[in-house]
Amino acid sequence: MKDSATPPIAGRAEWERARAELLAREKAHTRAGDALAAARRRLPMTRMESVTVVGAGGPVRLHDVFGGRQMLLVYHFMWKRDAPHDKQCPGCTHTQVAMNDTVRAYLAERDVSYAVFSAGSWPELAAYRDFMGWTMPWYSTADTSDALPKIRDGGDLRCYLRVGGDVFQTYETTQRGVEAMLPTLQLLDLTVYGRQESWEDSPAGWPNRDEAGSWWWRDGRPVAQWTRTNAPVK
């Protein structure tokens, strides 16, 4: 990093003018995001067929995963069956790091529950959740019928609405759409060198040497796992 190029040096007045120009663009970006959110709230919804998943207490209906709330956010975690913890998806692991008790408490204040679904068996999922020290509810979809659409392309995030005894899907996103769950990336985007990934449009000499997401994995396991163990990967 010490040999990387740096921005040109400017006086305070020149810097503030450049910052003001960028701020105008940032505000336009925020308003465009507000408009997209407004359109998202106007999407139609589609009824879900009867779905049963398996959690800590055994089989439960999708309706019951809401925990009495009206809305439900579900992240679908990609799973490698019968694989050790260090071989599980680094991207999906990254998405869960911020979903702590406090974040979920704020969601609950807006009548939203959060859960993780995955195709692994319940014992496998429970062991991984406990290894990571997570407390969010997990459910196995290993024996779920096709009434619950399969993950299309990587992990995905889905939104549901409960109306009486019926459940409806209101939204779904995948790939970069799940960056809403990754404050790490939002913060890196504010720094001078950004995410340091090869796809980014950065000035010459900037450290953008890594493929997208490749740095989420270090020394044989997802980065977040090194906060849980010092054991070498076998």
Mean pLDDT by 10 residues, the chain (234 residues): 82 97 97 97 94 93 95 94 91 92 96 95 94 94 72 77 96 92 94 92 87 84 86 73
Q: What is the pLDDT of residue 145?
A: 58
Question: For the chain, what is the domain count?
Answer: 1
Q: What is the pLDDT of residue 1?
A: 47
Domain assignment present for 126: yes
Question: Which residues are CB-neighbours of 6 under 8 A, at least 6 positions away?
Answer: 192
Q: What is the pLDDT of residue 166?
A: 95
Q: What is the pLDDT of residue 7?
A: 94
Pick the closest to residue 87 from 226, 189, 221, 190 (CA basis). 221
* Bridge partner residues of 73 (DSSP): 114, 159
* Bridge partner residues of 74 (DSSP): 115, 158
Domain assignment present for 215: no
Which CATH number do you get for residue 156?
A: 3.40.30.10
Domain assignment present for 68: yes
Domain assignment present for 4: no
Pick the closest to residue 89 from 48, 120, 50 (CA basis). 120
Helices (H), 169-215: 183-188
Q: What is the pLDDT of residue 43?
A: 97
Pick the closest to residue 97 from 228, 218, 224 (CA basis). 224
Q: Residue 102 to residues 69, 79, 136, 206, 209: CA-CA distances in angstroms?
A: 17, 26, 11, 36, 35
Domain assignment present for 53: yes
Domain assignment present for 140: yes
Domain assignment present for 88: yes
Q: Residue 48 to residues 64, 114, 230: CA-CA distances in angstroms?
A: 13, 18, 43
Domain assignment present for 146: yes
Q: What is the pLDDT of residue 2?
A: 57
Q: State which residues form the domain around 58.
A: 46-174
